[in-house]
Each structure stands twice: as structure tokens, then as C-alpha cells.
Amino acid sequence: MRIPGVRDDFPRPAPAPGLCELRFENRFVDELPGDPERRNAPRPVRNACYTLVDPTPVRSPRLLAWADAAGELLGIARPASPEGPEAQVLSGSRVLPGMRPYAARYGGHQFGHWAGQLGDGRAITLAEVEAPDGSRHELQLKGAGVTPDSRSADGRAVLRSSVREYLCSEAMHWLGVPSTRALSLAATGEPVERDMFYDGNPQVEPGAVVCRVAPSFVRFGNFEILAAQEESELLRRLADFVIRTQFPALAGGGEVSPAARADWFEAVCRRTADMMVAWMRVGFVHGVMNTDNMSILGLTIDYGPYGWLEGYDLQWTPNTTDLPGRRYCYGNQPYIAQWNLARLANALYPLFEDTAPLEHGLRAFAQVFEQGSMRMLADKLGLSSIDREGDEALVRELFELLQASETDMTIFFRSLAGVPVQGEDAHLLGPMAGAFYDAHALGGAHGARLAGWLRRFGERARAQGLPDAERRARMNRVNPKYVLRNYLAQQAIDALAAGDASVLERLMRVLSRPYDEQPQHEDLAARRPEWARHRAGCSALSCSS
Ligand code: AMP
Ligand code: MG
């Protein structure tokens, strides 16, 4: 139909191709040495960066979810049917022409100890695609079957952990936190057995595969294994490959120089620091910050027993395996990141044979984290900076208050924008009412102390002379209204397991605009309900996935 007054001779953008029509590249495989052995059984891998291995086909592939935003990034059309050829590919049942699937070789420090060879035990990278904007991304299936790195495990993933990875990858992206992305979630139609509580009661659960997307899935551990096995030539080749393909501005086109390698390590430290500032800003706790779960690109990677702070608590860890030492609790994360970077520095030492560039990078981490944290705190409070007399005391007391009575971190900061800069105590406290898990928190001494703090905060905000509406808008741009609360993810899992994808779809839609008010979805911004406090999956999680 011709619409009057609208020209119809504009060149129209070509419709996006389907996944099966894409052209695939495989630079990791083409440019780095692979395992000469192809036998797909648990075994040590030596003198290689990867093993070529195909995903294991599954019984009944079916797409359960497709992330439109990731599809748009890659320029891939949404599949027409949940059981079409895309479901075959994205569940690992079919390898397309041009793809050279591989499992990467890596090691890692787990809970502070060297664990030797780990590697992609259930993740298989299919290929790389060039997006319409010229960026390149690898497609990786998680839960795609056994590889030489599977050890005694099955190479599979269960639906619950796959939904959690799918949701959180995209939620983090929308929050502005560097993360690997998720394109799709596919059911395998095959059962997977897991002992969720490690108590000798394994259950059969539905299996699933997530297709993850990232420019590279290289981890600190890819370098650590080469250093541990004294494969120095390969270590250099992997480093130079990562620098050339992922940090081209540093490589400068030709041979990678020692100076470029030093700049690269510093860049990794800086990116990791930025990621830590972002996690602390939104209250994300990774739960398993082993060096094999640290991306060389500074992306959040490997969503396992992660969680979101509800009650603000520096000591909180979502991972039941981490409970004895709380190594990976919220407040420890920046220190662990730096510890992990020090492990990476040790692994890279043979490239430099000098500690100075590595020490320089580690110092850059500390500086970037410290400056970034001050900037982030100022932003969260709507202040142009935290540098006036009394500011540090104001911030210190705020965090003491947050720990003193169980306070929902997300709701607290979001509500702070709505507090008037002067008025009676009741007016100051009114907007904060939804943030406390103790119904009487605002009644007694705590309420009086908080009102005192809000009064001083209001005076400080007034003193900077920024129009109030502008200050509030700024705060709402960094303090999310919607985060992936653990019980919300669990509700999406329960519904999907019962055949209802609408809960997951609604959550994805709402989380794609985490800083916007969405009045019809207010329920998703509420405090965690009491029933969820101790329910499995809603607060603490095990590594079993
Ligand atoms: P993760 O805790 O998921 O980061 O995994 C740690 C290591 O265990 C990695 O080498 C994984 O590939 C491997 N792994 C975890 N789950 C499985 C599984 N079900 N099958 C094979 N390998 C696994
Ligand atoms: Mg991992």
C-alpha cells in the first residue's frame, strides 16, 4: 500500500539474514596451534590452545528464548520457528558449514589454589561472526556435551542454571556492566542428573544450552596453564594473538612489541577495575571469582551461583560452597580481582622477564578502582564529587547505616533521589519506607539516625547548587530501579519448567530498561518477599549446574 505523502523509493535496509545464512570465521583456530590429538575423552592437553571438538547432538532441540538485543547486535533475524534449523545449531545438534568448533585449553586458581588443567569442559565455541557494525563476536554453546576437559562430568547444563546465565548476561549489559552476552536458550529434551545440595540426593532435571556471545572467551587461566606447563612460545603467541585481535590499537598493525605487551597488561588491569566498580555499583556478587572465570577483556563471565545484594551486606556471598571463608563475598570482590590479576602477572612474567611493567599494571588497577569508586559513589549520591570537608564522613556513615539494619541496597539508592533536601523527619524518611526488611526500622533510634543523615545529605546536595530535578535525573541514571533479584530468576525458571515462557519474557523486557520507571511492573522492583529468604535458588546457591 502507498501511504500518501510518504516516498516509497528510499533504499530499504536489507532484511537481516538468518543464523544459517551467516558467513563464519575462526581466527582462534586458524591462527593458533591446536591439539594434534582429536580423541574426545578426558585427558591432559599439551602444546595447544584448544582442541577441535564438535558439540554432541541432543534428542529434541527446541528454542525456549531468543534475546532480540543480542540478535540485533549480530544482525541475525529472529528464528521463524522454535524447532527450525536455528534450534538445531543452537543446541549443538548441527554444525554449519564454515564453523570450526573448539574447546579452549585453560587452567586456573580455584578458591586460592592452583587447580591445574580445567578448560572448556562443557562449553564449545562454534565460530566467529562479523556484526553489521564491524565488530566480531564468538558464538559459544554452554552445555554442549563432553570435551577432553570434561573430567568426570557430563558436559551438560541444567535448565535452571542456563536460564540464570541467559537472563543475567543480558541484564548486566542493560545495566551498563561489561558482560558476555546471551543470544538464545535451547532445551535439549534430555534429562541431566544433578546433586543440587551435594547431599547425596541427585535429581533429574531438564537439560538446556545457552548460546553465549563475546568478542573473546579467553580467560586469565588460558595464560596460566601455558606458564604452568612452561610452554613459553605458545604463551607469547596467545598473548600476541589476543593483543592483535582484541586490542588492535595497542598492536599498531605489525609485530607486537614488548611495549605493546606492557600496555596490554595495564589495559587488562584497567578494564578489570572498571568491571569491579560496576559490580559494586549495582550490588552484583559473582560468587566464583576463580582465575578461570576472569575474562581477559574485563567482561563478567561464567554466571554460576551469582547473586544480587538485597540486604546491603559486605560479607554476603550467594555461593554455599564459599560460605566457610566468604572469599568471594560482595565486599571482597575488588581485592580478589587484584589477587587474580597478580596470578595473571605471574603467568605473563616470561613475556617480560622484568617485574616493572607488571607492577605498573597492578598499580593501575588500584588507582582506577579507587578513582572509579569515588566517582561512582558521587554519582550514586547525585554529587558532582566527593571532595569537600565532611564528605568522607557522610559516605562512611551512610555505609554504617546500610549495614546496621537490613536495608535493600537497590531500593535505598533509588529512593534517595526522591528524598526532599529539607523538611520534617517524617518527610525525609517517607520515600525510604520501602527499603527496609525490618518493619520497625524507621521507628526507633535507627530512623532518627537515618533522618539525621538525610538532613545532612540534603544540605550537601543543596550546597552544590545543581537544580534538584537535574540531580534526581542523574541519580536515576546510575541507581537502577530493576535488578535481577534472585527470587525473580527462580520464578522465571519455575514457570519455564512448567512450560510457561511469559514470566521469563516479561522479566527480560523489564530488565532491558533498568533505569526507567515502569509503573505497570512495580512488583518486580519490590523487596524480596519473606518466603524467598531461605528458599533454594532464591538466596543462596550451590555450584551445581
Ligand atoms: P565453572 O564452575 O562452571 O566455572 O566450571 C569450572 C570447570 O569445571 C570448567 O573447566 C568447566 O568446564 C568444568 N565443568 C563444570 N561443569 C561441568 C560439566 N557439567 N561437565 C563438564 N565440565 C564441567
Ligand atoms: Mg568457569
Averaged pLDDT of the chain: 95
Asked whether 155 lines ligand 1 (CB < 6 A), one says yes
pLDDT > 70 fraction of the chain, expressed in percent and rounded: 98
Ligand 1 atom closest to 302 (CA): 4
Asked whether 193 lines ligand 1 (CB < 6 A), one says no
Q: Are 234 and 352 in contact (CB under 8 A)?
A: no
The rounded Å distance from CA 426 to ligand 2 centre is 48
Residue 15 has what pLDDT? 86
The answer to whether residue 12 scores a pLDDT higher than 90 is no
Residue 14 has what pLDDT? 79
Asked whether 122 lines ligand 1 (CB < 6 A), one says yes
Ligand 1 atom closest to 292 (CA): 4
Asked whether 542 lines ligand 1 (CB < 6 A), one says no
224/344 Cα distance (integer angstroms): 7
Residue 4 has what pLDDT? 64
274 given a catalytic annotation: no
Asked whether 305 lines ligand 1 (CB < 6 A), one says no
Q: Whose CA is nearest to atom 6 of ligand 1?
A: 118
Residue 8 has what pLDDT? 66
The rounded Å distance from CA 122 to ligand 1 centre is 6
Which helix (H) or strand (E) segment holds residue 128: the answer is strand 123-130
The β-bridge partners of 102 are 52, 125
* Ligand (nearest to CA of 105): 1
Q: What is the pLDDT of residues 478-505, one digit of tens each?
A: 999 999 999 999 999 999 999 999 999 9
Residue 198 has what pLDDT? 82
* Ligand (nearest to CA of 123): 1
Beta-strand pair 136-142/107-110: unpaired
**Phi and psi torsions of 404, nearest 5°:** -70, -40
The answer to whether residue 66 scores a pLDDT higher than 90 is yes
The β-bridge partners of 184 are 66, 211
Q: What angle do CA 79, 81, 87 make, to 5 degrees?
A: 70
Residue 543 has what pLDDT? 78
Pocket-testing residue among 111, 150, 543, ligand 1, by greatest number of atoms within 8 A of Cβ = 150
Pocket-testing residue among 110, 125, 149, ligand 1, by greatest number of atoms within 8 A of Cβ = 149
Residue 215 has what pLDDT? 98
The rounded Å distance from CA 290 to ligand 2 centre is 8
Q: Are 18 and 78 in contact (CB under 8 A)?
A: no
- 69 burial level (CB within 10 Å; 0-12, 13-18, 19+): middle
What mean pLDDT comes out for the span 378-403? 96
Q: What is the pLDDT of residues 235-271, one digit of tens each?
A: 999 999 999 999 999 998 788 999 999 999 999 999 9
Alpha-carbon distances, residue 8 vs 5, 15, 27 (angstroms): 9, 17, 42
Place 3 in a pLDDT band, splitting at 50, 70 and 90.
low
Q: Whose CA is nearest to atom 23 of ligand 1?
A: 121
Per-residue b or e along 283-321, where b marks 16 or more CB atoms closer than 10 Å to that residue's CB = bbbbbbbbbbbbbbbbbbbbbbbbbbbbbbbeebbbbbb
468/183 Cα distance (integer angstroms): 40
* Ligand (nearest to CA of 119): 1
Asked whether 121 lines ligand 1 (CB < 6 A), one says yes
Place 423 in a pLDDT band, splitting at 50, 70 and 90.
very high
Q: Tell me the pTM.
A: 0.96
**Residue 222 corresponds to which cell in the numbers above?**
588460558
Number of Cβ within a 10 Å radius of residue 237 = 17
Residue 196 has what pLDDT? 82
**Residue 171 corresponds to which cell in the numbers above?**
541484564
Asked whether 225 lines ligand 1 (CB < 6 A), one says no
Ligand 1 atom closest to 106 (CA): 10
**Poorest-confidence range of 90-99, 318-327, 378-387, 536-545?**
536-545
Number of Cβ within a 10 Å radius of residue 442 = 20
Q: What is the pLDDT of residues 92-141, one digit of tens each?
A: 999 999 999 999 999 999 999 999 999 999 999 999 999 999 999 999 99
Q: Are 53 and 155 in contact (CB under 8 A)?
A: no
The answer to whether residue 5 scores a pLDDT higher than 70 is no
99/122 Cα distance (integer angstroms): 18
What mean pLDDT comes out for the span 139-166? 97
Asked whether 342 lines ligand 1 (CB < 6 A), one says no
* Ligand (nearest to CA of 158): 1
Q: Are 221 and 49 in contact (CB under 8 A)?
A: no
Asked whether 165 lines ligand 1 (CB < 6 A), one says no
Place 535 in a pLDDT band, splitting at 50, 70 and 90.
confident
pLDDT > 90 fraction of the chain, expressed in percent and rounded: 91
145/126 Cα distance (integer angstroms): 13
**Which of the following is catalytic: 54, 149, 292, 408?**
292
What mean pLDDT comes out for the span 64-69? 98
**Poorest-confidence range of 4-8, 292-296, 436-440?**
4-8
386/374 Cα distance (integer angstroms): 7
The rounded Å distance from CA 302 to ligand 2 centre is 5
The rounded Å distance from CA 204 to ligand 1 centre is 18
* Ligand (nearest to CA of 150): 1
The answer to whether residue 9 scores a pLDDT higher than 80 is no
Q: Whose CA is nearest to atom 22 of ligand 1?
A: 121
Place 291 in a pLDDT band, splitting at 50, 70 and 90.
very high
The rounded Å distance from CA 38 to ligand 1 centre is 20
The answer to whether residue 1 scores a pLDDT higher than 70 is no
The rounded Å distance from CA 433 to ligand 2 centre is 39
The rounded Å distance from CA 54 to ligand 1 centre is 17
